[in-house]
Amino acid sequence: MELHSIFLYLAIILFLARIIGDTFGRFGLPPVLGEILVGVILGKSALGIIEPNEVLRLLAEIGVILLLFHIGLEADINQLKKVGLSAFVVAFVGAFTPMLLGTLASYYLLGFSLTTSLFLGGTLTATSIGITVRVLDDLGKMKERFAQIVLGAAVLDDIFGVIVLAGLYEFSKEGVVHFDALTMLVLYITTFFILSPILAQILARVIKILSQKLKTEDFIPPTVIAIVFLFAFLAHEVGSPEILGAFTAGLALSRRFALPFAMFLKTDESMAHKIEHTITPLVWVLTPIFFVYVGLQLNLKAIDFTSQKFWMLSLLILLIAVVGKVVSGFFVRGSMKEKLLIGFS
């Protein structure tokens, strides 16, 4: 593919994502749905103008990484602490209920092999944290209690998903699951989430000192982005999704962050404000590319909509996924409305 074609694709994507996204917003719908629709229309499902490629994939990955960093920056660590147990319960029930139901339905109702059934059930464990937080952010609900529970649950859900799929992959290869290896994976991820906030705070202080010494206004933006990418890399290295590394870095650098065992690393409010000011424009530009790319990856023309088996499988998976997730909301305290909001989120 010619490089100049990418520039045209980006121009089309950014312009249409903004126009269609804002149009959805005016009708009370999350703009993210409009951005995904743009991808569906431009991709193989409709016009076939733009195909997924490595350049767009890279920009999309950077976009969702910066989105999670931005969400971490704006998150209220004290509120997350308060809903921590509720978030864990929602994540656990919301991950393993669909997996259990999906596995049983695939094996006994659809007649798939045990390995295939386990993988199908396993794919129902994880929640798309990028889409979840973006929708809540678009609706202006991120500060509410139910949204904080959903945010915490989505983070844990991704971790559960990694552990489950790692175990299933091992089972498919060797016929057994080595729990010592899974325990080490959990240990690596836990250690990362404990130590990374301290590292992020130390790096932020180094950046502030260097920017004051060098007296250059443009020193902070590239170095903050470097921290985000570093934490995305480190998260991947310990077996966790890259976006969770970015979220952890954002949480550690937010204005309200404090560790009970490291109070000497109390967040510098002025530095946190500068970081927020730096990152927001990049999030506005790159995040829509991710959601458009999600739509580009769909190929509705490859689906045989006349197939009875397709509709049976699709409806069964949808029913299991919805029931499994909605049930999780009823395991936390709150009004019926709040329980349903948590479950459907």
Residue 70 token pair? 């931005």
Q: Residue 259: beta bridge partners?
A: 262
Taking only the tens place, the pLDDT of each residue in 246-294 is: 888 888 887 666 555 455 555 566 777 778 888 888 888 999 999 999 9
Residue 344 has pLDDT above 70, yes or no: yes
Fold of 23-344: Na+/H+ antiporter like fold (1.20.1530)
Neighbours of 116 (CB within 10 A): 15
Give the sign of the dihedral formed by CA 152, CA 157, CA 158, CA 162.
positive
Choose the weakest-confidence range: 12-16, 60-64, 129-133, 284-288.
129-133
**Global confidence as pTM:** 0.82
Q: What is the pLDDT of residue 266?
A: 58
Q: What is the pLDDT of residue 58?
A: 94
Q: What is the pLDDT of residue 171?
A: 72
Taking only the tens place, the pLDDT of each residue in 75-125 is: 777 777 778 788 888 888 888 888 888 888 888 887 788 888 888 888 777
Q: What is the pLDDT of residue 268?
A: 64
* Distance between CA atoms of residues 145 and 175, nearest Å: 43
Nearest partner of 205 among 271, 276, 277, 280, judged by Cα: 271
Q: What is the pLDDT of residue 57?
A: 93
Mean pLDDT of 313-323: 84
Bigger pLDDT: 251 or 12?
Answer: 12
Share of the chain above pLDDT 70, in %: 92
Residue 195 token pair? 């130590």
Q: Residue 262: beta bridge partners?
A: 259
Q: What is the pLDDT of residue 269?
A: 67
Residue 129 has pLDDT above 90, yes or no: no
Q: What is the pLDDT of residue 261?
A: 47
Residue ranges per structural domain of the chain: 23-344
- How distant is the alpha carbon of residue 96 from its chain centre? 18
* Distance between CA atoms of residues 132 and 286, nearest Å: 17
